[in-house]
């Protein structure tokens, strides 16, 4: 599947976040502390190149941020590239996990059931259904923080690959430090597994507070 975000993610490494890339963060549109415009101003001040705000079951923050960025561009400012994003709950091998939908068409009908503030129930909760909806909407499906679940990342990533996931969140702060830093051994293992499967790797702070530099 050709997608313009693929070439961006090809450059993601352990030092990409939080200074250049951030593909996992939250606003008050789900369980974050920042207003959407506060977040995008902070991202611009930090000099980020690319980001996606991934509120849980909500893409409501995207349009006001996109409008603000366009106004800054019109005024001659250099600003980050903003991609659509949403964090969606689903069942993968019977384990409740989170999927980051990235770079999808805003307002696409396929993602409407997942864009209502709460997790879905029934067949729509299955990982294959979520991946299909994300792809139908033109987006990429990424397994969020693969080492935070009841099942091991090795099992979950293999199953995600089988179901057509596009990638996984390789670089993540599992220690939840004040200043974000990837957890070396586990992140390196996840990165290797994803690379061996030919999957994309992303990074993100998973920020819920008022500072994009930490969780």
Q: Is the pLDDT of residue 36 over 80?
A: yes
pLDDT for the residue 178: 85
> Which residue range forms the structural domain that includes residue 137?
4-203
pLDDT for the residue 182: 96
For residue 8, being part of any structural domain is answered with yes
Under 8 Å between Cβ of 170 and 190: yes
Tens digit of each residue's pLDDT (9 = 90 or more) over 137-178: 999 999 999 999 999 999 999 999 999 999 999 999 999 988
The domain total for the chain is 1
Where does 8-139 show beta strands of DSSP type E?
Answer: 21-22, 50-52, 81-83, 85-92, 95-102
- Return the structure tokens found at 51: 């980001």
Measured between alpha carbons, how far is residue 210 from residues 23, 24, 39, 182 in Å? 16, 14, 8, 19
Tens digit of each residue's pLDDT (9 = 90 or more) over 11-20: 899 999 999 9
For residue 71, being part of any structural domain is answered with yes
For residue 212, being part of any structural domain is answered with no
Share of the chain above pLDDT 90, in %: 95
Share of the chain above pLDDT 70, in %: 100
User: In the structure, what pLDDT confidence band is assigned to residue 214 with cuts at 50, 70 and 90?
Assistant: confident
For residue 117, being part of any structural domain is answered with yes
Q: Is the pLDDT of residue 1 over 60?
A: no
On whether the pTM is more than 0.95, the answer is: yes
For residue 215, being part of any structural domain is answered with no
Measured between alpha carbons, how far is residue 31 from residues 55, 82, 157 in Å? 7, 20, 26
Under 8 Å between Cβ of 162 and 204: no
For residue 50, being part of any structural domain is answered with yes
Short-list 98, 115, 95, 84, CA closest to 172: 98
For residue 209, being part of any structural domain is answered with no
Tens digit of each residue's pLDDT (9 = 90 or more) over 68-105: 999 999 999 999 999 999 999 999 999 999 999 999 99
CATH number at residue 117: 3.20.20.140
How far, in Å, CA of 26 to CA of 36, rounded?
A: 9
């Amino acid at each position: 599947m050709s997608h313009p975000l693929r070439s961006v993610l090809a450059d993601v490494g352990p030092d990409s976040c939080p200074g250049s890339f951030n593909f996992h963060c939250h606003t008050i549109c789900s369980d974050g502390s920042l207003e959407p415009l506060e977040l995008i101003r902070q991202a611009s001040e930090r000099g980020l190149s690319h980001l996606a705000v991934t509120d849980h079951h909500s893409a409501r923050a995207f349009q006001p941020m996109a409008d603000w960025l366009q106004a800054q561009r019109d005024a001659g400012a250099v600003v980050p590239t903003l991609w659509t994003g949403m964090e969606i709950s689903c069942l993968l091998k019977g384990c409740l996990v989170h999927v980051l939908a990235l770079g999808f068409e805003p307002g696409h009908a396929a993602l409407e059931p997942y864009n209502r503030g709460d997790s879905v129930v029934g067949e729509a909760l299955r990982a294959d259904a979520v991946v299909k909806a994300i792809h139908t909407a033109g987006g990429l499906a990424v397994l969020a923080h693969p080492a935070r679940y009841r099942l091991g990342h090795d099992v979950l990533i293999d199953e995600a690959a089988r179901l057509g996931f596009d990638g996984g969140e390789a670089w993540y702060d599992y220690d939840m430090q004040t200043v974000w830093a990837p957890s070396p051994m586990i992140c390196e293992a996840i990165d290797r597994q994803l690379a061996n499967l030919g999957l994309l790797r992303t990074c993100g702070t998973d920020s819920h507070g008022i500072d994009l530099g930490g969780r």
